[in-house]
A and B are shown apart, each in its own frame.
Chain A
């Protein structure tokens, strides 16, 4: 299994509070991604990173920010959480050295915003 650790695995918080999710990899892969998965929508890309301090927006980036100060860590921040951000969040990594390299996923973070 790819060495990907997401923390926390579960979190319950209140509307308006800041939340930070962490993704840590031990594979030294260049690319890292944050997705959310909701019923009826599948996996949707929030933000991704193509190197240290190099990040870009995905299709559902509003309300989220990211940072990558080290190769191994990719942080997702909800500055002021809303109930619509209740979801399961997955981090993924890929090497990108060859076109057939798949993304490998962490175990997910289940976030509930009350």
Chain B
């Protein structure tokens, strides 16, 4: 089975940097995804990590340590529109492209 842990809620200030952590325990590992989900909307893909290290994509970066079962999503220069839930999802060894999602971290950006 798979277990994914993320903080439930976070608050950060506009213009600041915030780090959202995700720890996981899986039977096999074939990649980790981060999604953004605004309230009442569908999740949208942000990033993918399968090797250790940092992947940068504009204001968003994602880091992975496979040995520690740990990832984080880093959001820089926060904007009000970044207020959303951020979902960590892990693809295990079950095949057929299945992933397991964490509960998500609800981020509130305040002025």
Contacts and interface: CB of A to CB of B under 8 A. Distances in A.
B43 A42 contact: no
A100 B30 CA distance: 9
A48 B104 CA distance: 22
A43 interface: yes
The bracket for how many chain B residues form the interface is 20 to 34
A20 to B, nearest CB: 20
A22 interface: no
The bracket for how many chain A residues form the interface is 20 to 34
Interface stretch (B9-17, B64-72, B75-83, B93-101): B93-101
Contact of A103 (B41, B50, B99, B103): B99
A31 B97 contact: yes
Interface of A: 31, 35, 40-45, 48, 50, 56, 58, 90, 94, 96, 99-108
16 contacts: A35-B101, A40-B103, A42-B103, A43-B43, A44-B101, A48-B98, A96-B97, A99-B31, A102-B35, A103-B97, A104-B45, A105-B42, A105-B43, A105-B44, A107-B41, A108-B41
